[in-house]
Structures are given as structure tokens and as C-alpha cells.
């Protein structure tokens, strides 16, 4: 039963071309995931403003328009950000970070219940299509927001739909592809994510030319809606899930009837000590990585360099992260890769704690980009590792839980980044320590390099016992 997918060939062939194309189409969901995850870096940013009287020394000496007399200053463009659109220049830091935190809170609330549906009644394909639809509709509706409270509620809905996209797309694309393409397809999803992230500074630059922040939501969500329709009609369900689901539907024993419940995967994860320990270690590492991954982009403005350039460099760093992931998963062990990546990311984040100017700021930006790149690579390796570590019946749930802890860190990341404007210890310092220490439990997990995929927990226990006997 181990890795029993006879319809999937062991080497590239003409017959696998259709499966490869479908895997690529599924992996493209990461593109829209990347856009919606970081769109608030621009739509919620502090826009540029100017003093109306060049001789007003009080106006020229302040870094914020808050507290200045009305009529002494003006926004360069009132529609480029929610801050200028709704007059939030004097708003509390918590209020300004609320939309981003609401988005990640929606992800946290959705990730666990939605992920169990992919392993049980809905399957991979239907859940992926449903998630893309909810995310796109929620994002599209934000253009009608009259204030920050409605905007935050719609961001929560968008995040609620977005949560399962990455894990479900990863699992479905790797299960559709044959074994020879499996690692490469996994990395391709991360590349799509990078491309989605990279399009944001290019589109947001046009906002600096007078375009509304609402237009950015339309440009990113309308194509996502079209993709969802295409995905629903042209992608097949995972053959591995269909096989396991059919076995559950046979109800040969009472145990199989219990497993057919949509919470069966959670029951296995919580009751099997070996699986539970693996899950806890993976979630701890993911939690620490999440602070760097979601916190650093919101702290880029504190370094004092051009925001568009800084975000573009962060987005571009996901390309070498994808290439590095491909190298690591094909040439190196999973555990040592994650431990090294988290340590390097933490050290580079700590290097950005001190306030600097001039050339030192450029070195700090380089350290920040390296830290972000290492965190991206660590996430990629962990997600691929989870596909190998957990059997098919609980794989999607386990990956979703790992991503949920990343997203949980994302809830607090924007808040810490806002606090970091007064002291970088709250942002770069905390992020560096978190990823460094939370990655340590990974050292106690089993290695999975070259390991066959298993269908259920019995196969996994049998394989583990066989490995220990040698």
C-alpha cells in the first residue's frame, strides 16, 4: 500500500504530460495567494504628503502630518491609501494594523476546519476552488468599503477563504504529478507565489501616480475569479485522495466508518503520540518562521529606504528561495536544511535592530532580504517535508495546521511591526529570536529524504518500524 499509485509513472513520459499540465494549473493558485497576502503593504501604507507653505518651519520639521494645522499640509494623492482616503493620519497604531491582522485572523479561523474537508468529504479540488472563490469575492468587495471597520471585516472574509489555498494547491499538484516531477512541482508553486508578490510593487507604483488603492484590489481579484472558474472545469481530483476516499466509503469495518467522519484526520493527529509529536515540532518551527515571513515586509518602512524597491527586493528574494529549495530537497537532508535556514534568518533579522543611516541602511536592507529569503526557503522545505512525513489521510490537515501557525504569527506580525516604529527590538529583534528558538525542535524529527508516500497511519507505522529495524 505504500506509495501505491499505479497510474502515476516513475519517470517522465508522454502519458504524464496531461498530469503535469494540470499540476502546473493547480500550482498557479499560489500566484493569487501571494497577491492577497501582501496587498495591504501598499493599500494601508502611509502615503506621501507635502507642506503647502514652503516657509512653514513647523510643518517641514515634522515626519507626520498628525497634529499640524488643517490647511498647512496636503496629501500628494488622497486615494493612494486607506490612510489618506479615510483621514487616519492620527489613528492609533492598532487601528492601522487592524485590516492586516483581520486578514490573518480569518486565515487562522478558517485553516483548521476547512483543511479537514480536503482530507474527507470535499476533496482537494473542490476545496481549492471554493477557497479561491471566497478569497476573490471578499477581496473584490473591499472596493466598496466606506470605512476601516467594514474594510477589516471584508479582509477577514478574504482571509477566511485564502487560508487553505496554499496547502491544498501544494498537496493536489504533487499528488496529480508523477513521482519524477513531484519535488519540482512543489517548488513551482512557491515560484508562482513569488511572482504574485512581485506584481504588487509594480502595480502599486501606478498608485503613486494617482491611482486609487481600490483599483489594486480589482486588478488582483478579478483575474483570480476567472482562474477559479477555469480551475473548476479543467482540473481533475487527486487520484490518491479518490483511492483512499473510496476505501473509506466501502465501510468494511467499524473503524473505517469512524474514519469517514470529516474530523477523522484531527482524531488521528491528536491521539497518535508519534504523529502528534511530529505535528507539534513542525508547528513550532512554522510559528517562528511566520513572524519573519509576515512581519518583515510590514517593517520595511522603518529601514528608511524606498518602499517600492524594498518590497520588490523581498518579492524577488522568493525566486532564489525557490531555486535554493529545489537544491536542498534534491541534494540535502530536510532536517539540517531547516535548522540552518532558521538560524541564518534569525541572525540576519537581529542585524536590523539598530537604527542606522546612509550606507549602513543599505547593509541592513541586504540583511533583511537575506533573512526573508531564508524564511521563505524554510517554509518551502517544511511544506514539502510534511507531504513526506504524514500519510495521505491526514496530509492536508497536517500541512494546514503548519500553515495556520504561520498565519497565527501573521496576526501579530503587523502589530509588532507597528510597535517597531518606536523601537526595532519589538520588530526585527523579536522576529529574529522567534525563528531561531522555534526551529530547534525540528532536530528531533525523522528524516524523510527519499521516503515513499504512505496512504494511511497503519502504512506509516509499518514503514517506521521497518526503518528502525535496520
pLDDT value for 118: 67
65 neighbors 51 (Cβ within 8 angstroms): no
Break the chain into its structural domains and give their ranges. 27-50+92-244+258-465
pLDDT band at 352 (very low <50, low <70, confident <90, very high): confident
pLDDT value for 453: 65
pLDDT value for 31: 93
pLDDT band at 253 (very low <50, low <70, confident <90, very high): very low
Give mean pLDDT, residues 80-103. 86
Nearest to 189 by CA among 326, 54, 47, 290: 326
Judged against a pLDDT cut of 60, whether residue 271 lies above it is answered with yes
Give mean pLDDT, residues 221-242. 86
Measured between alpha carbons, how far is 176 from 157 in angstroms, rounded to an integer? Answer: 29
Out of 120-129, 184-193, 235-244, which region has the weakest mean confidence (pLDDT)?
A: 235-244
62 neighbors 50 (Cβ within 8 angstroms): no
Nearest to 319 by CA among 213, 453, 194: 194
Indicate the average pLDDT of the chain: 78
Measured between alpha carbons, how far is 386 from 382 in angstroms, rounded to an integer? Answer: 6
Burial of 273 (0-12, 13-18, 19+ CB in 10 A): exposed
pLDDT value for 291: 86
Report the percentage of the chain scoring pLDDT > 70: 77
Judged against a pLDDT cut of 90, whether residue 145 lies above it is answered with yes
Give Cβ neighbours of residue 108 (< 8 Å, ≥ 6 apart). 163, 404, 407, 408, 411
pTM for the predicted model, two decimal places: 0.70
pLDDT band at 302 (very low <50, low <70, confident <90, very high): low
Domain 27-50+92-244+258-465 has CATH 1.20.1250.20: yes
pLDDT tens, 387-439? 777 777 777 778 878 877 887 887 787 777 777 766 778 778 888 898 888 88
Q: Give me the helix-helix angle, 29-38 and 213-234, nearest 10°.
A: 160
- Residue 299: C-alpha distances to residues 28, 418, 452 (Å): 28, 8, 41
**Distance from chain centroid for Cα 147:** 27
Which of 3-7, 212-216, 261-265 tops mean pLDDT?
212-216
pLDDT value for 137: 95
301 neighbors 45 (Cβ within 8 angstroms): yes
Burial of 409 (0-12, 13-18, 19+ CB in 10 A): buried
Out of 219-233, 364-378, 385-399, which region has the weakest mean confidence (pLDDT)?
A: 385-399
pLDDT value for 463: 57
Longest CA–CA span in the chain (Å) reads 85
pLDDT value for 171: 81
Measured between alpha carbons, how far is 199 from 220 in angstroms, rounded to an integer? Answer: 9
Better-scored residue on pLDDT, 72 or 305 = 72
pLDDT value for 2: 40
Give Cβ neighbours of residue 455 (< 8 Å, ≥ 6 apart). 1, 2, 4, 240, 243, 244, 391, 392, 393
Judged against a pLDDT cut of 90, whether residue 174 lies above it is answered with no
Q: What is the DSSP letter of 9?
A: -
pLDDT value for 154: 95
pLDDT value for 152: 94
Report the percentage of the chain scoring pLDDT > 90: 13
Amino acid at each position: 500500500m505504500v506509495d501505491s499509485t499505479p497510474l502515476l509513472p516513475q519517470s517522465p513520459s508522454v502519458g504524464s504530460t496531461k498530469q503535469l499540465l494540470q499540476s502546473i494549473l493547480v500550482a498557479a493558485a499560489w500566484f493569487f495567494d501571494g497577491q492577497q497576502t501582501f496587498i495591504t503593504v501598499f493599500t494601508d501604507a502611509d502615503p506621501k504628503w507635502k507642506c503647502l507653505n514652503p516657509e512653514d518651519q513647523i510643518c517641514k520639521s515634522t515626519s507626520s502630518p498628525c497634529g499640524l494645522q488643517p490647511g498647512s499640509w496636503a496629501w500628494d494623492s488622497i486615494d493612494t491609501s486607506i490612510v489618506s482616503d479615510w483621514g487616519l493620519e492620527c489613528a492609533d497604531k492598532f487601528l492601522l494594523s487592524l485590516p492586516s491582522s483581520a486578514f490573518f485572523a480569518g486565515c487562522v479561523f478558517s485553516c483548521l476546519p476547512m483543511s479537514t474537508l480536503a482530507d474527507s468529504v470535499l476533496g482537494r479540488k473542490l476545496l481549492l476552488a471554493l477557497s479561491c472563490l471566497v478569497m476573490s469575492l471578499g477581496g473584490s468587495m473591499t472596493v466598496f468599503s466606506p470605512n476601516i471597520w467594514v474594510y477589516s471585516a471584508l479582509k477577514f472574509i478574504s482571509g477566511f477563504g485564502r487560508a487553505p489555498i496554499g496547502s491544498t494547491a501544494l498537496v493536489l499538484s504533487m499528488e496529480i504529478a508523477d513521482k519524477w516531477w513531484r519535488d519540482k512541482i512543489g517548488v513551482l508553486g512557491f515560484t508562482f507565489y513569488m511572482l504574485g508578490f512581485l506584481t504588487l510593487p509594480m502595480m502599486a507604483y501606478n498608485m503613486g501616480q494617482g491611482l486609487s488603492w481600490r483599483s489594486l484590489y480589482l486588478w488582483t481579484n478579478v483575474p483570480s475569479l476567472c482562474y477559479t472558474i477555469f480551475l473548476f472545469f479543467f482540473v481533475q481530483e487527486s487520484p490518491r485522495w479518490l483511492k483512499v476516499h473510496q476505501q473509506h466509503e466501502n465501510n468494511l469495518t467499524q473503524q473505517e466508518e469512524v474514519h469517514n467522519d470529516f474530523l477523522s484526520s484531527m482524531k488521528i493527529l491528536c491521539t497518535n503520540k508519534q504523529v502528534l509529536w511530529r505535528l507539534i515540532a513542525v508547528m513550532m518551527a512554522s510559528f517562528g518562521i511566520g513572524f519573519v515571513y509576515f512581519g518583515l515586509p510590514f517593517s520595511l518602512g522603518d529601514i528608511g529606504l524606498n518602499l517600492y524597491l524594498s518590497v520588490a527586493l523581498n518579492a524577488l528574494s522568493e525566486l532564489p528561495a525557490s531555486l535554493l529549495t529545489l537544491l536542498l530537497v534534491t541534494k540535502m537532508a530536510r532536517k539540517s536544511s531547516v535548522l540552518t535556514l532558521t538560524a541564518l534568518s534569525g541572525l540576519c533579522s537581529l542585524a536590523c535592530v539598530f537604527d542606522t543611516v546612509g550606507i549602513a541602511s543599505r547593509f541592513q536592507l541586504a540583511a533583511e532580504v537575506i533573512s526573508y529569503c531564508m524564511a521563505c526557503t524554510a517554509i518551502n522545505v517544511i511544506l514539502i517535508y510534511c507531504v513526506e512525513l504524514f500519510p495521505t489521510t491526514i496530509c492536508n490537515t497536517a500541512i494546514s495546521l503548519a500553515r495556520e501557525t504561520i498565519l497565527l504569527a501573521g496576526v501579530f506580525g503587523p502589530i509588532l511591526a507597528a510597535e517597531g516604529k518606536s523601537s526595532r527590538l519589538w520588530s526585527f529583534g523579536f522576529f529574529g529570536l522567534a525563528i531561531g528558538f522555534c526551529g530547534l525542535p525540528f532536530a528531533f524529527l525523522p528524516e524523510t529524504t527519499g521516503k515513499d508516500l504512505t496512504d494511511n497511519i497503519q502504512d506509516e507505522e509499518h514503514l517506521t518500524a521497518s526503518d528502525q529495524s535496520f
